[in-house]
Chains A and B, each alone.
Chain A
Amino acid sequence: MRKADALVVGAGPDPESVLVVRGLTKSFGALRVLDGVDLDVGQGKTLCLLGPSGSGKSTLLRCLNHLERPDSGEVLLRGERIGSRLDARGQPRPLRERELARQRVRFGMVFQHFNLWPHLTALGNVMEAPVHVQGRDRHEARAEAVALLSQMGLADKRDEYPSRLSGGQRQRVAIARALATRPDVLLFDEPTSSLDPELVGEVLGVMRGLADAGRTMVVVTHEMGFAREAADEVVFMDAGRVVERAAPDDFFTRPTEARTRQFLQRLG
């Protein structure tokens, strides 16, 4: 019903979408890395972004939370413009870094190289932003962080510093950190690419659990098994454009674009 209403009003994006991206472009010098990308991620959906190296997946993810400012296009998170505000004439005005910082907390980001803060324990890493950015009550934030670490299977590691943890454990702490700010959407940039093969499973398992629990997620990955099983939608990018988007079954068994078939064949 609500979808129909939106159509009547003529408002573009699906109102059920948590994250809407329209016409995103980004160049580094002469290199056009994003060339008009559109995305819609519905509430509780998992979108997997695939594509060859250099196709702009990381840049797209970093433009979503404006770690990198896109050149044009818009990102809407639950209807709120990210990174800019419309002025009286309807022109986008870039927000200042401080205002942007407040918006960024609404994305929970998980990096390829974990990027845990080395001076803080596992628990410290998870509590840090809730307490010092969001100003939440310390006891409450601590209790929530303890629960998140337990959920990640790290109850006994909470007082360890990152240097004392394995790659898989570090990435699970990083996921707990990303959940602790109660974000609207989780962004994963190749979360298992820098892990030893035997540690990949434990991280994918946790992510699978999050997808099943109805978290809204955008996942850049080369793990086709994960994309096939956990994704609601697969988006294939090449040279800064979305080449194909489909449900995982269709994507892997009946790709429509030649470029997609070529990509999948090369993976074997």
Chain B
Amino acid sequence: MIDNFLIVLGEWPTIAWGFATTVWVSALSIALSLILSIALFVAIASGNRWLTIPLRAFVDLMRAIPFLMLVFLAYYCLPLAGVRLSSWTCGLVSLVAYNTAYFTEILRGAWAHMSAEQADAGRAFGYAGLRLYSRIILPQTLIASGPMLGNQAITLIKNSAFLMVITVHELTFAVNQIQSIYFTPLEALLVGVTLYWVLCLVVEAAVRRLDRIAAVRGSA
């Protein structure tokens, strides 16, 4: 067993590359989907029907399909539509689309949970349009939903493992490659699991911080 571990760890450049890819694709997806979900949230909350109906349909559709199906769809069907993406880009797009839907729903839910009088207070003091969102609605919505967004980020990190099926060289792909070359499934998987666990612990710690902030500043 020790020998097998040494063999697996001897492949550290592959593991390191896989881990770095997982971290990078996850971090980029979280950042991009946070930006996009804020835009979608504002568009949906603004109540313009031409925006609201298609955007809500997008959000509901994304939340109704398994992530793996979305990855396959993006990988096999986008080329049919003339869109050619590298597998890495394809994975990123899938993660961002899927996660944006969940983030948007979290923001929408948090805002619906708050009092409509919060917006009234903003309007009464002279806020309108985008400034009402940027100064009054978004800050408290983001603070209140911070812990849920953090938990969703953990789900995203775990979902990124599915990207191995379209040959993105992320952590699960690397681990699987090593175990199939050396026939050391237990040791290779243990290393992989440990790295996911450490990554999620870090995010978990951030979620706990967000929890404390939300408790004080998320609602009056």
Residues of A at the B interface (CB closer than 8 Å) are 65, 67, 97-98, 100-102, 104-105, 107, 109, 111, 113-120, 128-129, 132-134, 161-164, 170, 177, 181
Q: Is the CB of A119 within 8 A of B139?
A: yes
> Closest CB-CB distance, B203 to chain A, in whole Å?
23
Q: Is the CB of A133 within 8 A of B125?
A: yes
Q: Is the CB of B121 within 8 A of A111?
A: yes
Q: Is the CB of B131 within 8 A of A132?
A: yes
Which of A101, A104, A105, A177 gathers most chain B CB within 10 Å? A101
Q: How many Å lie between the Cα of A177 and that of B115 in the bound state?
A: 19
Q: Is the CB of B117 within 8 A of A111?
A: yes
Q: How many Å lie between the Cα of A161 and that of B216 in the bound state?
A: 7
Q: Which residues of A lie under 8 Å from residue B220 when comparing CB positions?
A: 114-118, 161-163, 170
A-B contact count (CB 8 A): 83
Number of interface residues, chain B, beta carbon within 8 A: 26
> Closest CB-CB distance, B146 to chain A, in whole Å?
11
When A98-B129, A111-B117, A132-B135 are in contact, do A118 and B124 touch as well, CB less than 8 Å?
no
Determine the main DSSP class of B at the interface with A: helix
Would you list the 5 A-B pairs with minimal beta carbon distance, nearest first? A115-B121, A133-B126, A105-B126, A101-B128, A162-B220
Which of B117, B121, B135 gathers most chain A CB within 10 Å? B121
Chain B minimum-CB-distance residue to A164: B216
Residues of B at the A interface (CB closer than 8 Å) are 115, 117-118, 120-129, 131, 135-136, 139-140, 143-144, 215-220
Q: Is the CB of B216 within 8 A of A133?
A: no
> Closest CB-CB distance, B200 to chain A, in whole Å?
28
Point out the residue from A104, A115, A163, A170 that lies within 8 Å of B126, measured CB to CB. Answer: A104
**Interface CB pairs A-B, < 8 A, 7:** A98-B128, A101-B128, A104-B126, A109-B124, A115-B115, A116-B220, A118-B220
Q: How many Å lie between the Cα of A105 and that of B118 in the bound state?
A: 16
Q: Which residues of A lie under 8 Å from residue B115 when comparing CB positions?
A: 113, 115
Chain B minimum-CB-distance residue to A174: B121
Q: Which residues of B lie under 8 Å from residue A107 when comparing CB positions?
A: 124
Q: How many Å lie between the Cα of A110 and that of B115 in the bound state?
A: 15
Q: Is the CB of B120 within 8 A of A67?
A: yes
Chain A minimum-CB-distance residue to B124: A109
Q: How many Å lie between the Cα of A177 and that of B122 in the bound state?
A: 12
Chain B minimum-CB-distance residue to A66: B123
Chain B minimum-CB-distance residue to A183: B125
Q: Which residues of B lie under 8 Å from residue A128 when comparing CB positions?
A: 125, 135
> Closest CB-CB distance, B49 to chain A, in whole Å?
18
Q: Is the CB of A118 within 8 A of B140?
A: yes
Q: Which residues of B lie under 8 Å from residue A109 when comparing CB positions?
A: 121, 124-125
